[in-house]
Amino acid sequence: MRRTAGINYYTFPREALSGLWNGQGIGYGFNASPNNKKVRKLWRPNAQRTSYHSVLLNKTFHNISVTVKCKKAIDFAGGFDNYILYTPIWKMNSILAITLREVMEKKLELDPSAVRPEQITAPVFDIGLVKARKGAGRNKLARAEAWHALRTLIVRERDEAQVTARS
């Protein structure tokens, strides 16, 4: 009988604290080998270097280490500013994110006429739709387009609800 693999604990390297990893870390544990011996295993998150623009601060942050999970969370939050301001600190687990949040909150307190992140309708970027168009089958493309249409509808309804709440 084969044992299943499992992650015993996580560590957070410096790169995770100076980037946006959305609470992910390097997982350590054991993998199951064919002869039931423990084999040490290391699971690293898929971190990539990207740039993000903050509309609130009017500044572009270049070469930030961001995981794919964090990119999806930024997309789901409605943009970079919304992710930084409204995601719980314990979930971000990053010194960079905490510093950016403090700067953004000070900017909102000092300048009440500043553009608020809720007023920005960020374009919905669907990674699945782009991948599906690059050469996947028809079913995958149809699912991705349906998901994209549903996500766009949800964003529109949210924006309309915010407009009616303001007036």
pLDDT the model gives residue 71: 92
- pLDDT per residue as tens digits for the range 124-144: 444 444 444 445 455 555 555
CA-nearest of 34, 20, 33, 25 to 7 is 25
- pLDDT per residue as tens digits for the range 6-31: 555 567 787 888 899 988 888 888 88
**Total-model pTM:** 0.63
Total residues belonging to the chain:
167
10 Å Cβ neighbour count for 121? 13
Rounded to whole angstroms, the Cα distance separating 106 from 76 reads 24
10 Å CB burial of residue 84 (0-12, 13-18, 19+) is buried
- pLDDT per residue as tens digits for the range 68-102: 999 999 988 888 988 998 888 888 888 899 999 99
10 Å Cβ neighbour count for 27? 16
Using 50, 70 and 90 to split pLDDT, how confident is the model at 162? confident
